A = this chain, B = another copy of it.
Amino acid sequence: MPQSKKHLRDPDKTKIRIMAAATAEFAKMGLGGARVDVIAARAKVQKRMMYHYFGNKETLYRTVLEEAYSKFRAAEAALEIENDPPLQALKRLMEFTWNYYLENPEFISLVSTENLHKAKYLKKSPRLELLNKDFVKRMELLLSRGVKAGVFRPHLDAVQVLIALAGLAYHYLTNQHTGEIVYGRSLMTIEARQARLSFNIEVITHALCQPEALIVMREAA
């Protein structure tokens, strides 16, 4: 069956359409479950074009993954929490993380899929190594500013904090579907989402702050 509408020649847009379709399909079906033909159909592109621009399914997957990561890190860096007071910076970072995951569910799906494969494909990607170096530094700076201000507890490990911070949001959202069954409760209503974000901020605040600072905050409330 010949295609009714022929495409004008536009390699950039073609590539973008393939990437968008592939992102959706890989996020939904995983690497093994994704179908090249489905991607081509969604992108409204001849399958041959995917092979032309990306070589094969695996490379396309890797490219999708790289793109997703680099967009996330770019958005995060744009936050510029450096100048906020420590507690507010922490809160802003958590809100950003939560909202980004919420608004970009395909990002967390892709990361989960990649972890299923033990990050085999991300390891092949030299491009990503650079991106992630300095945001550990940013957290270290934030923590030491907080300690200096007398509000954070000393000797906290930035990586542990970062993983906790991400994990509290990530796990709730990725595991929302089994979660709703297991906990017998709707987890994604507006109220539930707001309650969760507040709770996460509360957990991290309590984990990082000096107990004395917490008492002051409680009195103030």
Considering the complex of A and B, which 7 residue pairs feature the smallest CB-CB distances, nearest first? Answer: A32-B33, A167-B171, A119-B177, A211-B211, A211-B214, A203-B207, A30-B30
Q: Does A172 lie at the interface of the complex (its beta carbon under 8 Å from any beta carbon of B)?
A: yes
| Residues on B with beta carbons closer than 8 Å to the beta carbon of A212 | 211, 215
User: From A113, which residue of chain B is reached at the shortest CB distance?
Assistant: B116
Chain A 171-210 interface mask (CB, 8 Å, partner B; 1/0)? 1101111111111110000000001100110111011000
- B113→A30 contact, CB < 8 A: yes
Instruction: Given the known inter-chain contacts A32-B29, A33-B30, please indicate yes or no for A112 contacting B174, CB distance below 8 A.
Output: yes
> Chain A interface (Cβ within 8 Å of chain B)?
28-34, 109, 111-116, 118-119, 122-123, 128-129, 132-133, 136, 157, 159-160, 162-164, 166-168, 170-172, 174-185, 195-196, 199-200, 202-204, 206-207, 211-212, 214-215, 218
Bound CA span A195–B181, Å: 32
Structural contact, B207 and A218, CB atoms closer than 8 A? no
Q: Is the interface of A mostly helix, strand, loop or mixed?
A: helix
Copies of this protein chain in the complex: 2
When chains A and B are docked, how far (Å) is the Cα of A30 from the Cα of B168? 24
Contact B115 A176 (CB under 8 A): yes
B132 and A184 contacting across the interface, CB-CB below 8 Å: yes
What is the bound-complex CA distance between A176 and B112, given in angstroms? 10
Please give the distance in Å from A24's CB to the nearest CB on chain B. 13
- A115 contacts which of B174, B185, B215 (Cβ < 8 Å)? B174
For residue A30, which residue of chain B has the nearest CB? B30
Q: Which residues of B contact A175 (CB under 8 A)?
A: 111-112, 115, 167, 170
